Structure 1
Amino acid sequence: MYIYQFFYKVVCLGFLCVGVSGIAGGQTNIDLKSSPRQVWRVKSQREVGTDLRGLFEDFKPDGWVTAVVPGTVYTAYVAAGLEKDPNYADNIWKADKAKFDQPYWYVTQFSVPAAMKGEILWLNFEGINREGEIYLNGQKLGALDGFMQRGKYDITRIVRASGANTLAVLVSPPRHPMANAASPTYVSSGGWDWMPYVPGLNAGITDDVYLSTSGALTIRDPWIRTQLPTNATAFLTVALDVKNNTDASRTAVVKGVIQPGNITFEEKVNVGANSTAQVKLDKRHFSQLVVHNPKLWWPNGYGDPNLYTCVFNVVENNTISDTKQVTFGIKQYSYDTLGQVLHISINGTRVFVKGGNWSMSEYMLRCRGEEYDTKVRLHREMNFNMIRNWIGSTTDEEFYEACDKYGIMVWDDFWLNSNPSLPRDVSNFNANAIEKIVRLRNHPSIAVWCADNEGWPEAPLNKWLEEDVRAFDGGDRYYQANSHADNLSGSGPWGNRDPRYYFTEYPTGLGGNDGWGFRTELGSAVFTNVESFKKFIPKEHWWPRNEMWERHFFGNWAFNADADGYDRSIETRYGKPSNIEEYCRKAQLVNIETNKAMYEGWQDHIWNDAAGIMTWTSNAGLPTFIWQTYDYYYDLTGAYWGIKSACEPVHIQWNPVSDAVKVVNTTRKDLEGATAEAMIYNLDGKVVDKYTLSRTVDALSNAAVHCFALPFGGERGDLAKGKPVVASSTETGRAESITDGDESTRWASAARNNEWVYVDLGAREAISGVRVKWETAYAKVYKIQVSDDASNWRDAATVNYGKEGVQDVAFVDDAEARYVRVYGVERGTGWGYSLYDLRVYGGTPKNSGLTAVHFIKLRLKDKAGKIVSENFYWRGNKRKDFTALNSLKPVDLKVVSSAEKVNGKQVVKAQVVNGKTGVAFAVRVQVLNARTGEQVLPAFISDGYFTLMPGESRSVAVEFDAGLVGNDGFRVVAEPYNNAWN
C-alpha cells in the first residue's frame, strides 16, 4: 500500500471520484495533466533515437520542449513560441508538416504521493491520438490504438515508493489517407473546406491522464437506463461490472445511492479470481428503482434539464474498494419516420429540432474544461435544442456534461465521411465505437447515433455499428446510418441565399428526400465583426478582399460557402463597401437576414413536412469568415442574433413570400388568448397606420398558427390578365383561356411531354412568381421560364411535385422579362397539360405611403399584455434594395447601467434609450474594458442588433467573468448602424 503526499483536484472520466479518508481502499484520483507542478516534455522519436536509457535512467530535459497535456505535439511547439501563431495571417499554411507528421515521445516525472492508502495503484489514460505506447520506469505497460481507447494499468509493483518515477509515451500520428483509413481520429485535421491542415494531424496525449487507487475490486462502466410507462413513473435499470484484480475469489456488496430522492440499493456479488462479474438490478427485485413523480430531463425550450446522480460503492469486509459517480437524466426517446421524415420525441412529446453542427471544439484541440460550458451555453442562449457532433470530432467529457446541463440534445457521429472505403483496421474501429458508446451512454443529451457523414458505411461496418448501438446502448437511441439520407432531406446548401429561398418549395439539399424535412446541414458564409477581423488579418491585407481572406476560407477553398455570392448580397442589398469597417458592418445585416430565415422557413412548415434544421456550423473552431454564429473569439455576429430571434420557444414571424404572419409555439404549453400585432414604420420612425393589424390567437403547443397576412398587395398584382398567349399545341380550348380571368375555361396541350404555353406581358417587367391552376391533367414536373425575345429562355423556377389545382410558384430571385412560359417536362396523367389559369405576379410595387425601405415590427402579447415575442424586419419596395438605410441620420443613444458581482461573475443591467430624433437601426451592444477599450469576451448578452424607434428603449442583461476586467472596470456601449456613417 502507498501513501500519497500532495493535495490534488479530483477528476475521473466525467465522474466525481469520492476519496474516503481513513478507509483502506478508498479511491482517489491524482491528476497528471500539465501544470507548474507537473511538467511534461516532448521530442521527436527521430531525435531521441533507439537507445531509450536516457529516458528512464537519468532523464535530462535539455533540448526537450515543454508539452501540453492534454494536448497535441504541434500545440506544445506553438505554446512554447517555437512555431508562429497559427491563428494569425497564413502562418499555419507555411508550417513544416513533415516536422510534426512523425512519432514523438512524451515524458514526465512524478513522485509517489503519500496521502491515502490503496491496495492497488492505477495509471489511467483516457485518450491518445492516434496510437500510444506507454512505459513506466522503463517497463512497457501497454499500447492504445484509437483515440477513444482507455488504458488502465496496475503500476503497484512498478512504481518507486521514493524518488522520481518516469512516465514515457511514444505517440504516433494518424497515417494518410485520413478519411476513412485513419479513423478513428480527428478526421478533419488533414484539411477540409473549413479548416487548414494541422501539422502533426492533432497527434498527442489528447485526453486526461491520472493516477487512482482502489482495493482489490473495481467498478467498470456503470450504466443507468430509464423507461417511462408514463411521465409520472420511471423504471430504472442499473448495470455495472465488478472486476476482481487478484488471484483469489472475492465476495462483496455493491451499494448505490441516487439523489435527489435518497434512493438506496445494494446487491451481494461473488467475483472469481481475475474475473469480472456483471451486476444488473431492476424493478423486479428492487421496488425502489420505480421512481414516482420523477424530475424529467427535457431539451431546451420544452422543460428543465433535470439531472440525477448515483454514487456506487463496492464494499468488501466493510471497506470501500472502489467508488464511481454517474450523472444521468430520467427520460425516454422515441422516433418515427412518418412521411419519410425522421421525427424525434422525448417523454412522449415530439421535438422540433433547432440546432447546429459542432465542427471541432477547437481546430488544435485547445478547448478544455469550463470553456465547454461557455460554448454550449451560447447554444442554449440561441434557443437551440440540439448539437451535431460532426464526425465525432469532439471527444471530451466536458462537452457532454455541458449539453446535459443546458438541455442540448446531441446528434453524435462516428468517424466516417462519405468515402466508399473502410478504416485500415475495421475491428479496431469497431472496438473504439463500442468504447464511445459505453463511455457516453449515461448522458441524457445523446439522442441519435449516426454512422457516416453524407454516406453509408461500407460493409461490414454499417451492420456492426447498428448492432453496437443495440447491444451497448440497449437500442435506447436511434441509429442513423447516413447523415443526409434515409428519412432526411439532404445537406446544404452552404452558401448565402435570399430569405425567400428558405420559404420556397423546396430548399434544395444534397442527397436525401426532397422537401424541408429534417435537414442536418444548412449554412452560409458568416463574416466577423471588424474587431475580430483585425485580430487575425495583418493590416496590409485588410482591404480590399485578397488572398489572405482566402486563407481563412473566404474564397475558392471553401467554394460551398459561395464567398462571391455573399459579396454580391452585401453590394446588392446595402451598397458597395469602401473599407473593411463598412464591409463588416453591412455583412452583419446579411448574416441576420439569412440565418433568421433558415429557421423561420423551416418553422413555417412545422410538422407539415418540416421536422428540424441544424446550421453548418454553430460553433467556431478557428478564426474564419464562414459557417459560424459566434466567432472564434466569442464575439456575437449577426448570425447569432438572427438565430436567437428565430428560435424563440414561442415566436411570431413573417413569411416574405406569402406575407403571412404566424405564431410558432415549440413548447409543451398552449398560449391561449394571445394578441398578435403588426406595425409598419417608415424610415422616419413613424407608423403607417393603414398597415397596422391586430388579432387574438390561441398559440397552440407544438404548432404554427396563422394570424393574418400583411397587406403588401403590390407584388401580388396579376401582370398576365388579358395578355396574348402562345402555345406549342392545343388539343382542347384556347391558349388565351389561361389569361381571360375566367377559371372555368381552359387550355389543353397535345398528349405528350415537353409542351408549353407562354404569355406576352407587352413590356419588360419585374416578376416575383406565378400562380397556376391545373385541371386533372396536370404537370408532374414543370418549369417556369422567362425570356426577353420569346426565343432564348432561362429557368426562373422548377417544380418537381406538380399537382391538380392551384400552385403558387415564388421565384427566389426576381426575374426581369417580357415573356413568361410554363414548360411541361413530365405529365402527371396520360393526357396532355391542361391549365385553367396563369397569373404572373410582379410589376412596379403599388404600396402607397411606404418609404423605399420600411420596417415591420411584430409583437405577441399574452392575456396580461406582457410581450412574449417581438420580431423585426426591414423590407424594400424594390425587394433586394435596402440602400436607403444608409441615409438614416445619426441618433443620440444613452446607456444607463448598474452592476453587481455574483459568484465571480459581473452581472450588468443596462437600459439603452433612443432620443426622439430618429430611428436607431440595428443597435449593437458591446462590453469594453474601461481602460484599454478592448472588447470583454466572452460575454453573455441578452439582446443585440435591435432597432429602436424614436423615444423607445430596450433593457439588456450582460454577464461575464469579473476577472476579465480586474481593476480596469468596464463600460457598456450601444452603437446603431446609422451612426457609423456619420
Structure 2
Amino acid sequence: MIKNISHKILFFLALSALPWSAFSQNIKSSLNAPAVTWKVKPQAEIGKDSMAILNAGYGTTSWVNAVVPGTVFNSYVTAGLEKDPNYGDNIHKVDRAKYDRSYWYRTEFKVPANFTKDIIWLNFEGINRLGDIYLNGKKIATLSGMMQRGKFDITKLANRSGTNVLAILVSIPQLPLNNYGSPTYVASASWDWIPYVPGLNSGITDDVYLTNTGEIVMEDPWIRTNLPSNARADLDIKVDVKNVSSQNLQGELAGIIMPGNIAFNKKFDVEAGRTTTVSLTKEQFTGLSIANPTLWWPNGYGDPNLYTCEFKLKLGNEVTDSKKVTFGIRKYSYDKEGGVLHVSINGKRVFLKGGNWGMSEYMLRARGEEYDLKLRLHKEMNYNIIRNWLGSTTDEEFYQACDKYGIMVWDDFWLNSNPTLPQDIYAFNENAVEKVKRYRNYACIAVWCGNNEGVPQPPLSGWLAEDIKTFDGNDRLYQACSNAGGLSGSGLWGNKDPRWYFTKYPEAYFGTGDGPGWGLRSEIGTAVFPNVESLRKFIPEKDLWPRNEMWNKHYFGTNAGNASPDNYDKSITERYGAPKGIEDYTKKAQLLNIETNKAMYEGWLDHMWEDASGIMVWMSQSAYPSMVWQTYDYYYDLTGAYWGTKSACEPLHVSWNPTNNSVKVINTTGTDYKDLQAEAAIYNMDGKEVAKFRQSAKVNSFSDTATESFVIPFYANQQDLAFQKPVMASSGEKPADVNDGNDSSRWSADNKDEEWIYVDLQGEHMVNRVVLNWENAYAKEYKIQLSTDAKTWTDVIMVRDGKPGPEALSFDETPARYVRMQGVKRGSGWGYSLFDFKVYAASADIAGLTKVHFIKLKLKEASGKLISENFYWRGINMKDFKALSELPKVKLNVTSKIVKRNGKQYITAKVSSPDGVAFGLRVQALNSKTNDQILPAIMSNNYFTLFKGESREVLIEFEEALVKTGEKPIIMAAPYNN
C-alpha cells in the first residue's frame, strides 16, 4: 500500500478517471429559461420613445409577458388576453390587425459568473420572419427567415458585471405567404386544415442563449458516413474553425467517437479573422474506418443505432470550444425502376409507411419532450417515415426524436405549387443552406424536396440542387417536386370504400406522377372524426349536434372540401345507419376510421413492388383541433385511424384483400421468416365459426415481400353473369366469343382507340367485379362502364396501364344491366383483342353467413407462437354493416394491475367477455375523481373484438404526474354493442 502520494499526483489521477466529456461540454446559458423574463409590445404603441427601451431600467409594466421561444399571439393567449383559440370559433373572431404588425421583444440579463473565457456569444436559432437585434443600445444584426441562425460576438458590447438589455424588433412575414413571404411557416395564413393565425406566427420562434469560448470556435461539424459494405463504415469529418482574434493561430481539433472509444486529433493553422476547414479521413486516422459498425435502421428493419462524437478545440492546453454531435451510420441509395421512386438504406430497399406533418402545432406551441411523445406514437403505429410538409417543423427536437425512433424524414423546403418566387430569393437560399447545414448530421433525413406539388422556379431550382450537392454531398436525394418524378401524384383526400385502395388503379387527385397507380404516393387521406370526449374540448355543447357551421370552423365542411366531409357523412349512414346523436356519430365514425385507414396502407402493401413502393397519409398528426386528417387527435386521444394504421403497418403482418379475398403475409422487416402458419376463420354475429370458409397454409415470408398464402372462398361458387348473354361491339369479328366459355376464342376490333364492347345481362344486378382476358393486342387505357338502359353510361373503373393477360377489376356495388369495356388507347398497333369478358355480382356464397360476419386472421411461428392477428367485419352487401346494431349487449369482466416506475404508471388491464360477442371494444384509462381520460397515454391495443370466453390484455403507459394525490386511474371498457 502506497501512503505518500502528492496532491498533484492525486489530482492528475482524478482527472484521468473522469469521462472525456467532462472537459468537452460547452458553457451555455439559456435566455429562454424560466428565470429570464421577456416582455412584448407593439412597436406602434411605444411611440416616439422607441429607443428608450434599449436602456437599462426602462419600465415594462404595461408590456405583456412574452413566451420565448414562441409567437407574439401565443404570448397574448398565455397571458389571458385572448380567449382560447382552440375553442369554438374564437380564433376567427380575433382582431388580426392587432397582431399583423411589428412587435418589440425585450429582456434584461446578466452574464454568468462562470463565463471566464475570452469570447461571449449571443445565439439565435430562429426568428419569424425578420428580427432587428439590439444589445445595450446598439443594433448588432438583422436575421431574415425563420431558419436563419445568428451567432454574434458581443464580448466588447456586453457588460460582464452588470445588466444587459436585449431587444428585438420582430416584423411579420409579407403576404401572400405562398410563396412571396417565404421562407416562413407558409400555412400560417390558413389552409384547409388550420385557421389564419393572427400575427402569422411571427415571434422569436426558437432558442436564444449565450455561450462562452476562446478565440477559435467551431461551426457546423459535419460527419459523413459511407458503407463500402455493411461490415465496414468509413467516416469523413469536416469542421469549420473560425479565428475571431487579430492574430494567426495554431490550434488542435480533438475528438472521441462512442461507442468504440475512437479518438483523433489534428493540428491546424488559421489566419486572423478567417475560417479554415479541418478535414479528417480514414487515410489520416485509421480509426475512422469502423469494422462491423452498428448501423442506423428505419423502424421495423432494425435498431436505430446512434453514435456520438465529442469535439473540442484547443489552443495549447486551453479548450476554447466544444460540441457534441449525435449521428447514425447509414447509407441511402435510390432508384426509379419502372418509373417508381424506391428508397434503400444500407443496401436494403425499404417500403415507406408514414404520414405528413402539416405543422407540429398551428401556433408553434410544440416544444421539447412533446416531440418525443409525438414520434413515439409514430413508432408505435409502425411508421418508418414522416414528410415534413413545406418544412413547417423546424425544431431540433423533431429530428432528435426521429433519429431515436428510427423514423426517416422526407424534408421539404418552403415552396408550394405556384410559380410565385419569394420576395427575397437570397434570404430564401440562405435559409435553405442553414437548414441543410443544421440538420445534415441526422441519420433520419432521407429526401430533400424542393416544392410541394410543383417544381421550384428558376433560379431556386438550380440553387437548391447545388445547396444539397455542396453542403450535403448529395448523400440524400434531392427531389424537386413532391408528387411527380417517380411519384404517383397526391390525393385523393376524401373517404373511400376500403376496396378502392386495392382497386386498379387508385387514382391521384393532383399530379399524374410517373408510375402507373400505387407507386410512391406522397399524400393520400380522409377525414378522421375524433371521439366525443375530444369534441367537447373544442366544440360548444350547443353546437355538438347536428352538423353546423361550427364543425366547418374545425374543418368538417367547405373549409376542408378536399376531405369530402359530405361523403364521410354518407359513408357512416350507408354503412352503419343514420346516427341518432353526436355520441352515436362518433362511435360509428371510429369504425369508419379503422376501415379506411387500415385499407389505405394494406392496399399499398398488397401491391408491394408491383408497383407500390410507399404511402404517406395526409396527415399522421393533428396541428389543430379538427375532424380531418389525423391519426391521434389534437389531445392525443388515439382514434380508430390510429389503430387501423397501427395494425396495417405491422412489420410482419397478415392481411385480407377485400376485392379478391386473397390473404397475404406482408413482411416489411429486414428478416426472412420460414415455416409460418397463416390461418383464416369466419365467424357469424353469434360468434360461431362458419367452418366451410376456414383456411390455413404454411408460408415462407422473405424480407420486403407480400406473399399470398390462400384465398378465402367467398366467391368459390359464384356465377359468371355474362356467360352466353347477348353481346354488342362497335366493330370487329365474333363479339360473342368473349363470353362463350372458351378462353381461346376471341373478339377482334378494328384498329382504332375508341372501340367498345358490352354485355347485356338481361336483367339488373348489383355488379361489383369484371374479369377480362386480353390477347397481346390489348388495351393500354380503357374504362369499365355500367348502364341500366345502354344509353347512359357511368364510369366505374379507369385503367391507365393495361397489359396482356387476365385482369380482375373490382368496384363498388352498382345496379346495372349492361356492362361495357370502352377503349381509350391501344397497347399495340392492332385493334383490341379480347378472349374473355366475365361479370360478377355482389351475391357471393352467402349460405350460412349472417348479414355481417367477421374475419379473423392469425399468423404463427412454427412453434405455434402468435406473431400477428388481424380482424375485419364484412357484409354480404360489402357496404352495409347496419346489422352490427343488432348485436346483443354483453357484460364484461375487467381487472387491472398498476406498477409505478421512473415517473410513469404502467397498467395491465385484462378484459374478458364471458357471455357473447363484444364488438369494437374501446378501452380507456380514466381519472377516478374527474372521470376524464388520462392523456396522453401509450396503449398496446384498442377497438378489438372478443368472442365468448375470450380475453385480451391491454398495456397502458402514462406520466405519473397526470394522476394527482387522492386520484387513481380506473379502466373503462365498452364494446360497440353496448
Provide the TM-score with structure 1 as the length reference: 0.96
Q: CA deviation at 1:753?
A: 3.5
Alpha-carbon shift at residue 963 of structure 1 (Å): 0.3
- The farther-off stretch of 763-772 and 397-406 is 763-772
Residue in structure 2 matched with residue 651 of structure 1 by the alignment: 653
Query: Which of 508, 516, 519 is the matching residue for 1:517?
Result: 519
- 1:115 aligns with 114
Give 1:929's aligned residue. 927
Whether the 8 Å contact between 1:674 and 1:699 is mirrored in structure 2 is yes
- Following superposition, the deviation at residue 909 of structure 1 comes to 1.5
Paired letter, 1:556:
T
Partner of 1:764: 764
Give the Cα separation in 1 of the matches to 2:49 and 2:851: 78
Contact kept, 8 Å, 1:718 with 1:841, in 2: the verdict is: yes
Q: Distance in 2 between matches of 1:929 and 1:334?
A: 49
**Alignment match, 1:4:** none
Residue 55 (structure 1) aligned to one of 53, 56, 60: 53
**Residue 556 (structure 2) aligns with:** 554
**1:25-60 C-alpha deviation (Å, 9 max, x unpaired):** x8311111152x211100001011243343133311
Cross-structure match for 1:732? 733
User: CA–CA distance in 2 between the matches of 1:933 and 1:214?
Assistant: 53
- 2: CA distance, partners of 1:184 / 1:486: 24
The equivalences for 1:145-294 within 5 A come to 145-294=144-293
* 2:576 counterpart residue number: 574
Q: Could you report, residue by residue, the CA deviation over 1:97-151 in whole angstroms, capped at 9, with x for unpaired residues?
A: 1111111000011123213412111111110000101111111111101111111
Contact 1:411–1:450 at 8 Å: present in 2 too? yes
Secondary structure of the residue that 1:298 maps to in structure 2?
Answer: coil
Take 1:726 and 1:156, find their aligned partners in 2: how far apart are those partners?
89
Partner of 2:697: 695
Answer yes or no: is the 8 Å Cα contact 1:18–1:323 preserved in 2: no
8 Å contact kept, 2:787–2:816: yes
Moved more, 412-421 or 743-752: 743-752
In the other structure, the counterpart of 1:632 is 634
String of CA shifts for 1:180-234, please: whole Å, max 9, x gaps.
1111100000111111110000000000001110111111111111111111111
Distance 1:825 1:411 in 2: 36
Residue 307 of structure 2 is matched in structure 1 by: 308
Deviations for 1:729-767, whole angstroms, at most 9, x for unmatched residues?
3x322x322222122332333333333222221211000
Tell me how many residue pairs correspond in the alignment.
955
Distance between the aligned counterparts of 2:974 and 2:251, measured in 1? Answer: 67
Map Cα deviations across residues 641-696 of structure 1 (whole Å, 9 max, x no partner). 00000000000000000100000111111110010000001000111111111111
Partner of 2:604: 602
* CA deviation profile, 1:749-787 (whole Å, cap 9, x unmatched): 333333322222121100002112223333332222111
Do 1:123 and 1:210's aligned partners in 2 also have CA atoms closer than 8 Å?
yes
Q: Is the 8 A contact 2:747 2:835 kept in 1?
A: yes
CA distance 1:784–1:107, shift in 2 (3 Å): same
In 1: Cα distance, 2:628 partner to 2:897 partner: 36
**AA partner of residue 928 (structure 1):** L
Q: Which amino acid aligns with 1:97?
A: R
What is aligned with 2:797?
797
C-alpha distance in structure 2 between counterparts of 1:849 and 1:655, whole Å: 22
Other-structure match for 1:40: 38
1: CA distance between counterparts of 2:33 and 2:932?
Answer: 30
Alignment of 1:133-152 (within 5 A): 133-152=132-151
Q: Give the Cα separation in 2 of the matches to 1:868 and 1:341.
A: 31
Structure 1 residue 275, shift from structure 2 partner: 1.1
Cα displacement (A) at 1:19: 7.5
- Structure 1 distance, partners of 2:333, 2:799, is 34
From 535, 543, 549, the counterpart of 2:545:
543
Please give the alpha-carbon distance, in whole angstroms, between the structure 2 residues aligned to 1:476 and 1:358: 23
The amino acid of 1:958's aligned partner reads I
Q: Which amino acid aligns with 1:923?
A: L
Partner of 1:434: 433
- Secondary structure of the structure 1 residue equivalent to 2:147: coil
Does residue 1:529 correspond to 2:528, yes or no? no
**What corresponds to 2:4 in structure 1?**
none
Q: Secondary structure at the match of 1:417?
A: coil
Question: Partner residue of 1:809?
Answer: 809
* Partner amino acid, structure 2, of 1:494: W
Q: For the aligned residues, what is the CA RMSD? A: 1.5
Name 1:863's counterpart in structure 2.
862
CA distance in 1, matches of 2:557, 2:612: 32
The CA distance in 1 between the partners of 2:41 and 2:218, in whole Å, is 36
Deviation at 1:72, TM superposition (A): 0.2
Indicate if the aligned counterparts of 2:554 and 2:627 stay in contact, CA closer than 8 A: yes
Rounded to whole Å, the distance in 2 between the matches of 1:56 and 1:610 is 59
- Contact (CA 8 Å) 2:70, 2:205: kept in 1 or not? yes
Paired amino acid for 2:888: K
1:128 is matched with which residue? 127
Residue 590 of structure 1: aligned partner = 592
> Which secondary structure state, in structure 1, belongs to the residue aligned with residue 536 of structure 2?
helix
For the residue of structure 1 that corresponds to 2:141, the secondary structure is strand
Q: How does 1:642-791 map to 2 (within 5 A)?
A: 642-713=644-715, 716-729=718-731, 731-733=732-734, 735-791=735-791
Calculate the TM-score normalised by the size of structure 2: 0.96
Deviation at 1:163, TM superposition (A): 3.4
Secondary structure of the 1:416 match is: coil
Structure 1, residues 607-640: CA drift from partner, whole Å, max 9, x if none? 1111010000001001010000000000000000
SS in 1 for 2:896: strand
SS at match of 2:180: coil
**Structure 2: where are the runs of 5+ without partners?**
1-18
Is the Cα contact below 8 Å between 2:505 and 2:798 reproduced in 1?
A: no
Q: Which residue of 2 aligns with 1:612?
A: 614
2:73 counterpart letter in structure 1: Y
Residue equivalent to 1:970: 969
Shift of 1:716: 4.2
CA contact (8 A) 1:105 1:170 kept: yes
Q: Deviations over 1:845-867 (max 9, x none)?
A: 33211100000000000011111
User: Secondary structure at 2:533's aligned position in 1?
Assistant: helix
- Tell me how far apart the structure 2 counterparts of residues 126 and 749 of structure 1 sit (CA, whole Å): 67
What's 1:6 paired with? none
CA shift, 1:161, in A, is 3.0
Q: Deviations over 1:909-960 (max 9, x none)?
A: 2211111x21111111111111111011100000011111111111111110
1:550-600 deviation line (CA, Å, top 9, x unaligned): 000101111110000100110000001010000001000010000000110
SS of the residue 1:892 aligns to: coil
Quick one: distance in 2 between partners of 1:623 and 1:91?
A: 12
Q: Note the C-alpha offset of 1:715.
A: 8.7
Q: 2:164, 2:802 → 1: CA distance?
A: 75
What does the per-residue CA deviation read over 1:886-927, in whole Å, with 9 as the maximum and x for residues that have no partner?
111111122211121121011122211111x21111111111
Whether the aligned pair in 2 keeps the contact of 1:617 and 1:629 (CA below 8 Å) is yes
Inter-partner Cα distance in structure 2 for 1:845 and 1:705: 25
Please tell me the residue identity of whatever aligns with 1:670. Answer: D
Amino acid at match of 1:723: K
1:18 to partner: Cα distance: 6.8
Contact 1:715–1:843 (8 Å) recurs in 2: no
Question: Tell me, what secondary structure is at the counterpart of 1:896?
Answer: strand
Aligned pairs for 1:901-940 within 5 A: 901-915=900-914, 917-940=915-938
Q: Name the SS for the 1:181 alignment partner.
A: helix
Measure the CA separation in 2 of the matches of 1:115 and 1:820.
Answer: 83
| Structure 1 residues 810 and 716: alpha-carbon distance in aligned structure 2, compared to 1, 3 A threshold | farther
Q: Residue 732 of structure 1 aligns to a residue in which SS?
A: coil
1:764–1:818 CA contact under 8 A, matched in 2:
yes
Q: One-letter code of the match for 1:672?
A: K
